[in-house]
């Protein structure tokens, strides 16, 4: 018999996050959808069949994150799975990049994960099958041209996952999902006009986000005594 779990998902309004929410629609689980765009979250929630709580949340805002996890505790009595999926990427030559974009990647991709861990861990440690799923990237394993700081943030996510496993691996399942290119609006914010067309073509040839969502669900549905540490999934080119 499968456990009914409380699952919190950041970056749930689009891309891999939205695909994961929809993939869990027919599950017995209770979903907490977290993102900055409440309108998109509510639209998604209306189409899901499982119990859903929508929390308009910016992962870089510690006050909002603290409030979100307090609400989860009050509404559901705990948390079983935290999926740290919120992320942003900007791609530029390192000598022509914008400092504010570097800061944004660090704030969302690293600090956002840290913020959710800080307030989520006390709840997860009380679960009988607590799990943290950090969505990283193949950029956590190699550095790509024009994405030095982005790659650095994903290496950091990988390091955080390894540390969690070393320190809390006997209490919690720690999983890292490292996708290659995924066909999402991920690069739409890139401001480099010379690169944007090539980037969009490259990512358009990537994985459908449902493929990554399926890997996430696969990790969640493992038996109590099975923990998947990492999945690397990329398009065949």
Q: State how far the Cα of 171 lies from the Cα of 94, in Å rounded to an integer.
A: 40
Residue with tokens 């955080």: 160
The tokens of 206 are what?
């990537």
Q: State how far the Cα of 121 lies from the Cα of 172, in Å rounded to an integer.
A: 10
Compute the chain's Rg from CA coordinates. 17
Which residues fall within 8 angstroms of residue 117, CB to CB, at 6 or more apart?
A: 82, 84, 132, 160, 164
Q: State how far the Cα of 221 lies from the Cα of 205, in Å rounded to an integer.
A: 29
Please indicate whether residue 202 is annotated as part of the active site.
no
Q: State how far the Cα of 185 lies from the Cα of 16, in Å rounded to an integer.
A: 10
146: left (phi over 0), alpha (psi -120 to 50) or beta: left
Residue with tokens 């919190």: 8
SS3 content of the chain, % helix, strand, coil (to 5): 45, 15, 40
The tokens of 209 are what?
């986000």
- 3-state SS class at 184: coil
Which residues are part of the catalytic machinery?
Answer: 150
């Amino acid at each position: 018999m499968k456990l009914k779990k409380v699952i919190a998902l950041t970056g749930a309004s689009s891309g891999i996050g939205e695909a994961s929410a929809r993939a869990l629609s027919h599950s017995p689980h209770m979903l907490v959808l977290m993102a900055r765009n409440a309108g998109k979250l509510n639209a998604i929630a209306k189409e899901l069949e499982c119990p859903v709580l929508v929390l308009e949340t910016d992962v870089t805002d510690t006050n909002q994150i603290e409030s979100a996890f307090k609400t989860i505790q009050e509404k559901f009595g705990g948390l079983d799975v935290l999926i740290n999926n919120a992320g942003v990427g900007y791609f530029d030559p390192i000598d022509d990049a914008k400092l504010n974009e570097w800061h944004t990647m660090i704030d969302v991709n690293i600090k956002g994960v840290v913020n959710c861990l800080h307030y989520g861990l006390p709840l997860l440690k009380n679960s009988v099958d607590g799990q943290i799923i950090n969505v990283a990237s193949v950029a956590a394993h190699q550095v790509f041209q024009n994405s030095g700081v982005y790659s650095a943030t994903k290496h950091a996510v990988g390091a955080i996952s390894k540390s969690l496993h070393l320190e809390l691996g006997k209490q919690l399942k720690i999983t890292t999902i490292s996708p290659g290119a995924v066909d999402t609006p991920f690069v739409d914010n890139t401001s480099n006009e010379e690169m944007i067309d090539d980037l969009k073509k490259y990512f358009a040839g990537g994985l459908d986000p449902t493929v990554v969502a399926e890997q996430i669900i696969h990790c969640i549905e493992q038996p109590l005594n099975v923990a998947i540490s990492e999945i690397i999934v990329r398009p065949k080119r």
